Amino acid sequence: MTTPLLDVQGLCKRFGGLTATDTVDLALPEGELHALIGPNGAGKTTLINQLVGSLEHDSGSIRLDGAEIGHLPVWQRVHRGLARTFQITQLLPDFTPLDTVMLAVQARHGHSFRFFGNARNDRKIRDEAMQHLDQIGLGARANARVGDLAQGERKQLELAAALAEKPRLLLLDEPMAGLGSAESQQMIGQLAALKGKITMLIVEHDMEAVFTLADRVSVLVYGKIIARGSVDDIKSNEDVKVAYLGEGDV
Amino acid sequence: MLVLEQILNGIQFGIALFLMSAGLTLIFGIMGVINLTHGSLYMVGAYAAALVAAKTGSALLALVAGLAGAAVAGIVIEALVIRRLYARDHLDQVLATFALILIINQTATMLFGRQPLFVAMPPALSHSVTLLPGLVYPVYRLVVIAVGLVVALGLALPINRTRIGMLVRAGATSREMVRALGVDIRLLYTIIFGLGALLAGLAGAMAAPILAVQVGMGEQILILAFVVVVIGGVGSIRGAFYGALLAGLIDTMLRAFLPGLLRQVMAGSNADALGGGLSSMGVYLLMAIVLLVRPKGLFVRQS
């Protein structure tokens, strides 16, 4: 058996008396689209934050392609191939979409570029950023103000910025949150197009999206994984119905 | 003419405030650190400039010493203390940097005593010029204003145009996003902190011939610089610039003219006491109003 791309073992995080992450194991083979679902407050975003490194875990290990990354700072994990999007978009309102994606491209290129160069004139970075925007369908809005974008466009922009990091593993924290149904369909289409090319862990409440996209699903309740399996397994799992889909009324 | 002169004084004070608050607002906005030692860096800059000026008599060397002294102090403080505080909450940061103030002040007292040092004006700049008929103004203060404006422009250009400037602006808006984009923020932090220390050193060195160089001078300006950060908006250099000018002008004008105005309606000694009291409240009143009307600061987009 080959090494999984992401291999999380025994991950724990406590906040005082609250166990937010309770010995979580999670292994994602390369190319898998794995959905993480669970009721509000189950600790899904907390888990993502630990994987990407913005929150330090108490114990356990996080391996990316066999190498322990659990104690690296965020930016180093990003350089190893981890990218994320946020549940509540963290974009910079006064930037343009092009600037935003250029920032990601230039971070990936690191310090091999002139630090004090005129950022906007750098053809190579600019072209690459534009390519990512076009790919996600935001090319026409490249020079708008991010603060003026619609919610759906912002979510797309975050995805474009994350893709500009050329990640091997993409962590998506509620990519459909706040989207209308047409926008959701568009996002599902885009994620489906990426499926297989990039390994993805997706936290999502939109069950239609989860059931359409996911190869496998893990269910997190009170920081613990209570079930894991294919979409059909999860749909028919009694524990999941009780804990998550609503006390027996499904 | 008196009004014009006081306006110039206000601008000059505002410029000094700007040099302090520009660093403070970036350090707070981007690194999330409340750095009370920023005033100490100002003091270190002033002392270094004063000592070198006394030894060599060269204003230029004094300026270089002020900048270098503050930069070195800043780097040491960042490496030894501040770096450990990034992940801590604000109370820890306030406690640690307040302790640093006490230590630095005590050290300065032990080294240089409680007597203020006075620095001679550089001879080339010690005269006054007639700007308008009846308006005679010291050249040195005009130079301070000019230097401040040049620095403000010099900051605005790279921040708006260069790659590192994009990072600075992005970092001030959303640290989380910048980290997630894979930016090595430690490097960004060191640059920001070093830049802040340099600006504080510049402010201190330029203040040396105007003010008495003494222990505690940093805290006086630090408090006002924090007020400016609140008025202008955390993380905004533009806000720091206009906020500092506004605070400098209001403070200076009130001090200069309020007692005189009050004297029109009440007895002289009462007017002086009330005017003095009210004018030292002026800047804080302005801050309170800004907090009420635009809680994120005048120059930050309110969400």
Please state the three-class secondary structure of B174-225 as a single string: CHHHHHHCCCCHHHHHHHHHHHHHHHHHHHHHHHCCCCCECCCHHHHHHHHH
Instruction: For B90-125, write each residue's pLDDT tens digit.
Output: 899 999 999 999 999 999 999 998 888 888 888 888
Residue B116 buriedness (CB in 10 A; 0-12 / 13-18 / 19+): middle
Residue B248 has pLDDT above 60, yes or no: yes
Instruction: For B145-201, write each residue's pLDDT tens digit.
Output: 999 999 988 888 877 777 777 778 787 777 778 888 888 777 778 888 888 999 999
Residue A114 has pLDDT above 60, yes or no: no
Mean pLDDT taken over chain A:
86
Query: Where does chain B have alpha helices with state H?
Result: 2-26, 38-56, 59-80, 90-112, 139-161, 163-173, 175-180, 185-207, 217-232, 237-263, 268-293
Residue A216 buriedness (CB in 10 A; 0-12 / 13-18 / 19+): middle
Name the minimum distance, in Å, from the CA of A93 to any CA of chain B: 8
Across B194-222, average pLDDT = 91
Query: In the prediction, which pLDDT does A246 show?
Result: 60
Query: In the prediction, which pLDDT does B52 show?
Result: 93
Pairwise CB contact (< 8 Å): B183 & A73: no
Query: In the prediction, which pLDDT does A118 show?
Result: 60
CATH entry 3.20.20.140 includes domain A1-81+167-250: no
Out of B166, B179, B301, the one facing A99 most closely (by C-beta) is B166
Name the minimum distance, in Å, from the CA of A164 to any CA of chain B: 9
Numbers of helices and strands, H then E, in chain A: 9, 10
Architecture field, domain B2-122+137-293: Orthogonal Bundle (1.10)
Share of chain B above pLDDT 90, in %: 44
Pairwise CB contact (< 8 Å): A122 & B163: yes
CA dihedral A235, A13, A7, A209 (to 10 degrees): 30
Q: Which helix (H) or strand (E) holds A159?
A: helix A151-164
DSSP 8-state code for residue B88: S
Domain with CATH 3.40.50.300 in chain A: 1-81+167-250
Mean pLDDT taken over chain B:
88
Instruction: For A52-81, write each residue's pLDDT tens digit.
Output: 988 889 999 999 998 999 888 888 898 889
* Chain A: residue whose CA lies nearest to B300: A94
More confident residue, A139 or B302: A139
Residue A112 has pLDDT above 50, yes or no: no
Query: In the prediction, which pLDDT does A248 show?
Result: 46
Window from B11-25, B46-60, B88-102, B186-200 with minimum mean pLDDT? B186-200
Query: In the prediction, which pLDDT does A245 show?
Result: 60
Select from A52, A75, A80 the residue whose CB has the most chain B CBs within 10 Å, as the one to mutate to test that interface: A75
Round to whole Å and give the CA distance between B203 and B73: 15
Q: What values do phi and psi take at B58, rounded to 5?
A: -100, 120
Query: In the prediction, which pLDDT does B302 show?
Result: 56
Residue B59 has pLDDT above 80, yes or no: yes
Residue A107 has pLDDT above 90, yes or no: no
Query: In the prediction, which pLDDT does B94 show?
Result: 92
Query: What's the one-letter identity of residue B237?
Result: I
Select from A56, A90, A118 the residue whose CB has the most chain B CBs within 10 Å, as the one to mutate to test that interface: A90
